[in-house]
């Protein structure tokens, strides 16, 4: 992309194309480096713009990553919404279905490492250095996806109330962020684990830990009804 092409963007459609290009470039970069390593300067260079020009489309690096998070989450929830009703056996008990749901969601999330990394950084990093307006925009987009997931969760576990489904989905996000961070520690921690495996904090890994934890959350909510 050439800087001149961006400077000539005048219409709202053109601006949206430029915004998508910036987000797509950030996604490409996250296949090569971590969230913490992606700087606005590096993103600007990759896009082919001055930093000040990128800031015409997004108010900060974090705003770019929040938009990417919303897009990845929407894609994931759409995929899961198709997969869960087919994969969960409605002839099974509620507890058995809860176990199936936990496993399917954990495996699906593990297959989306970029999404998991962004969820892990959401509260502690991405929601800083952004305006209330930017936060409101991304929250609304994210909540639309969460509402869809709540609906399909109640489809395969109709024993859950609407409030319980909401609590379950919110807990899933928190568990995903926390367990992803513990399952992907910094290099010094990895080296310590390699030297002494007894130090490993999450011995069963991300998928098994998330699947089991979320299944227990669902079982607990079902038992409360």
Where residue 34 sits, what CATH number does that domain have?
1.10.10
Q: Which domain holds residue 13?
A: 1-58
Q: Are residues 73 and 6 in the same domain?
A: no
Q: Are residues 106 and 153 in the same domain?
A: yes
pLDDT tens, residue by residue, 70-110: 999 999 999 999 999 999 999 999 999 999 999 999 999 99
Read off the pLDDT of each residue in 111-139 and give the average, rounded to a whole number.
95
Burial 58-90 (b: 16+ CB within 10 A, else e): bebbbbbbbbbbbbbbeebbeebbeebeeebee
Q: Are residues 64 and 37 in the same domain?
A: no
Q: Are residues 112 and 14 in the same domain?
A: no
Residue 57 · residue 15 · CB < 8 Å:
yes
- How far is the C-alpha of 61 from the C-alpha of 40, rounded, in Å? 5
Q: Are residues 112 and 192 in the same domain?
A: yes
Q: Are residues 109 and 217 in the same domain?
A: yes
pTM for the whole structure: 0.90
Structural domains in the chain (count): 2
Q: Are residues 165 and 180 in the same domain?
A: yes
Residue 18 · residue 7 · CB < 8 Å:
no
Q: Are residues 79 and 2 in the same domain?
A: no
Sign of CA dihedral 187, 38, 127, 139: negative
Q: Are residues 71 and 42 in the same domain?
A: no
């Amino acid at each position: 992309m050439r800087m001149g092409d961006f400077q000539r963007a005048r219409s709202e459609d053109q601006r949206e194309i430029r915004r998508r290009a910036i987000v797509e470039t950030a996604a490409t970069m996250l296949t090569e480096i971590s969230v913490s390593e992606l700087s606005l300067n590096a993103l600007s260079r990759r896009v082919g713009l001055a930093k000040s020009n990128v800031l015409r489309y997004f108010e900060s690096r974090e705003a770019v990553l929040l938009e990417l998070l919303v897009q990845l989450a929407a894609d994931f929830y759409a995929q899961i919404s198709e997969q869960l009703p087919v994969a969960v056996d409605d002839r099974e008990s509620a507890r058995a279905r809860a176990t199936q749901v936990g496993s399917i969601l954990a495996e699906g999330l593990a297959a989306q490492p970029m999404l998991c990394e962004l969820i892990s950084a959401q509260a502690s990093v991405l929601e800083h250095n952004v305006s209330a307006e930017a936060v409101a925009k991304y929250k609304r987009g994210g909540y639309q996806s969460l509402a869809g997931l709540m609906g399909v969760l109640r489809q395969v576990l109709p024993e859950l109330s609407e409030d319980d489904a909401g609590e379950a989905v919110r807990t899933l996000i928190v568990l995903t962020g926390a367990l992803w961070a513990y399952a992907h520690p910094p290099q010094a921690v990895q080296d310590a684990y390699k030297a002494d495996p007894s130090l490993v904090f999450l011995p069963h890994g991300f998928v098994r830990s998330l699947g089991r934890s979320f299944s227990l959350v669902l079982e607990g909510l079902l038992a409360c009804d």
